[in-house]
Structure 1
Amino acid sequence: MSTFENTTPFNGVASSTIVRATIVQASTVYNDTPATLAKAKKYIVEAANNGSKLVVFPEAFIGGYPRGFRFGLAVGVFNEEGRDEFRKYHASAIHVPGPEVEKLAELAGKNNVYLVMGAIEKDGYTLYCTALFFSPQGQFLGKHRKLMPTTLERCIWGQGDGSTIPVYDTPIGKLGAAICWENRMPLYRTALYAKGIELYCAPTADGSKEWQSSMLHIAIEGGCFVLSACQFCQRKDFPDHPDYLFTDLDDNKEHDAIVSQGGSVIISPMGQVLAGPNFESEGLITADLDLGEVARAKLYFDVVGHYSKPDVLSLTVNEHPKKPVTFVSKVEKAEDESNK
């Protein structure tokens, strides 16, 4: 395990404008959610003992990012083995709220941290790629569901809607998230900027060198701290299966071959890399964030303030939940008619 830091020694007393933040770069324990939660606990405790007030985990840490899984999918083909694979994947996902969410809230409270956790959420038999938010008081604050899954992800995950794009106004800064390639959606980024995001969490499965450019751009564009968290995985972290396709990096089939190379990084509103990127191993990436940097960055450029052009350009965000079925009882109908 490696630890990448740009911090001052923690003496138990922190400035009101300085927040120590940690990214956990680690792999899911696939098909074993209790073991994944135990692994998360270990890292949360370690980060908290080092003085961190914010801990961010990668995309789909609970439940797993199914890199290389095919689920037997092909146009016009229905595959029994793929259905069985999805059954296992669905079993590893969690209900929100649910017992695993309660456990994570307890961990956040016991360790006095804000926690952002990537998870696969199951709502009935549909799965969502979700970011969960927790407070140091042990409260589950809410969630963000990924709006648009990427490529084959769309076959196994549902799409989020505008009802779960929160930015939480906390004592350590305004906290929100965009998951993986949502960060390439300029209108979604603009919605987060308009909500005043200062601690911009980017749980992702993109460990490419090119991803670093996107994170740097967002920090400067939004005048916010960007915390990009990605899993570091080797082939041995995944279940054995002859149909898995791992070709992101190379065709090395050895157990120690790197499948997801991480690259977790923390960047300031001025575009300075504060910690990371780590392309080498599992571990913690930690930095001290001076919230005063947000105001300094926005002197010259405030994307939804003095540098916007609302007379020419505007954005409307629909935050209403999109439900496929809405039930209206007969009693409610009768009351409605009597009020006319």
Structure 2
Amino acid sequence: MIQAAGVPFDAEASLSELDGLAAEAAARGCRLAVFPEAYVGGYPRGFAFGSVFGSREPEGREWFRRYHDAAVDLNGSARRELERIAGAHDVLLVGGVIEKEGGTLYCTAVWVDPEQGLLNSRRKLMPTGAERIAWGSGDLSRPPVVQTRYGRIGVAICWENYMPLLRTYMYAQGVQIWCAPTADPRETWESTMRHIALEGRCFVLSSNQFIRRGDYPEDYPVGGAPSDVMCDGASMIVSPLGEVLAGPERERSTLLVADLDMGDIARGNLDFDPVGHYARADLFSLDVDTRPQAVLRSSAAP
């Protein structure tokens, strides 16, 4: 788990930091590295872009412009740099970026393979609270669980982890390693991660930012001393039987490392399989719409 701040409002600097952290992870023998929600682009903690019911402030619009400028196009240079970092260090990267398409931003998760490049990307289904001011909603046209060289890796972004039907869909997709890039450091998050590991009989890898006020731009319109901690991380790694293998870490930016014995998944399935012998498929079913919920496009000839 990469528990680090990135550089809010500066994608290039965030990618440079990620490069160094991926190198450190590789030096410690890691082959999978999970970085936090909104690591590239930034999580604008404590700020709602000058928005209240009924009005928006000019200062907020200007900060949104800066935030939009720091977001990435996953068909452009940021994708190439993520692919370069993964290949250079032979590390499968999973984590969060702020993606832009036209005038809309999305909180997006990416899977980047050292050899195959960008395997998948998926936008957060439901931005939470004030996040809806800045981020659009995603869909399930791209799968939440992807087959990789290290097993079936799924991603649920932050409070997507509280969506019971999404969890059931991911279990049905055969998730083995559940990645949870998040911005939630509260003590209740630990119980959520342990519950999902037990419920899904999968490994759960939760990565969050450890970030201080001084990590944001000096003129960022949220008060506090540079040393003030705005998010204390609490990243962690959990086994399929709910054992905490690493973390939660709340004191600093760091890497959390654990060896995953994939045989633990089958050991856990002895007495529970959420979509198998414990599912009661004769009583319950789940329908999932995987059609793209696309932005408007003109079909008229230019």
Task: Indicate whether 1:290 and 2:261 are aligned.
Answer: yes
Question: Aligned partners of 1:185 and 1:314: how far apart in 2?
Answer: 16
CA contact (8 A) 2:120 2:146 kept: no
Deviation at 1:34, TM superposition (A): 1.3
Deviation at 1:132, TM superposition (A): 0.7
Distance 1:40 1:324, change over 3 A: closer
Structure showing greater radius of gyration is 1
Question: Aligned partners of 1:325 and 1:71: how far apart in 2?
Answer: 25
Task: Indicate whether 1:144 and 2:122 are aligned.
Answer: yes
Task: Indicate whether 1:36 and 2:36 are aligned.
Answer: no
Deviation at 1:70, TM superposition (A): 2.0
CA contact (8 A) 2:8 2:44 kept: no
**2:71 alignment counterpart:** 93
**2:229 alignment counterpart:** 258
3-state DSSP class of the match of 1:164? coil
1:77 to 29, 48, 55: 55
Q: Deviations over 1:306-327 (max 9, x none)?
A: 1002222111111110124355
Task: Indicate whether 1:117 and 2:88 are aligned.
Answer: no
Question: Aligned partners of 1:193 and 1:242: how far apart in 2?
Answer: 40
Any residues of structure 2 matched to 1:260-279 within 5 Å, and which?
A: 260-279=231-250
Question: Aligned partners of 1:139 and 1:28: how far apart in 2?
Answer: 21
Q: Deviations over 1:35-86 (max 9, x none)?
A: 1111000000010111111000000000001101121101111311110010
Matching residue's letter, 2:140: G
Task: Indicate whether 1:165 and 2:136 are aligned.
Answer: no
Task: Indicate whether 1:220 and 2:198 are aligned.
Answer: yes
Matching residue's letter, 1:321: P
**2:211 alignment counterpart:** 233
Task: Indicate whether 1:309 and 2:269 are aligned.
Answer: no
**1:58 alignment counterpart:** 36
**1:177 alignment counterpart:** 155
Query: Among the aligned pairs, what percent are the same residue?
Result: 47
Distance 1:268 1:72, change over 3 A: same
Deviates more, 1:317-326 or 1:300-309: 317-326
RMSD of the alignment, in Å?
Answer: 1.4
**2:291 alignment counterpart:** 320
Distance 1:294 1:242, change over 3 A: closer
Question: Aligned partners of 2:206 and 2:220: how far apart in 1?
Answer: 31
Q: Deviations over 1:115-171 (max 9, x none)?
A: 102100001110000011111215111101100000010111000011123311123
Question: Aligned partners of 1:26 and 1:202: how far apart in 2?
Answer: 15
CA contact (8 A) 1:128 1:145 kept: yes
Matching residue's letter, 1:254: A
Task: Indicate whether 1:187 and 2:165 are aligned.
Answer: yes
Question: Aligned partners of 1:324 and 1:168: how far apart in 2?
Answer: 24
3-state DSSP class of the match of 2:196? helix
Higher relative contact order (CA 8 A, sep 6+): 1
What TM-score, normalized by structure 2, do the two folds share?
Answer: 0.96
Question: Aligned partners of 1:257 and 1:46: how far apart in 2?
Answer: 26
Question: Aligned partners of 2:296 and 2:111: how far apart in 1?
Answer: 27
CA contact (8 A) 2:122 2:140 kept: no
2:187 to 204, 209, 219: 209
Deviation at 1:189, TM superposition (A): 0.7
Please, which runs of 5 or more residues in structure 1 have no aligned partner? 1-22, 246-252, 331-340
CA contact (8 A) 1:202 1:229 kept: yes
Q: Deviations over 1:8-34 (max 9, x none)?
A: xxxxxxxxxxxxxxx100002122221
Question: Aligned partners of 1:328 and 1:27: how far apart in 2?
Answer: 42
Question: Aligned partners of 1:200 and 1:24: how far apart in 2?
Answer: 15
Please, which runs of 5 or more residues in structure 2 have no aligned partner? none
Distance 1:88 1:97, change over 3 A: same
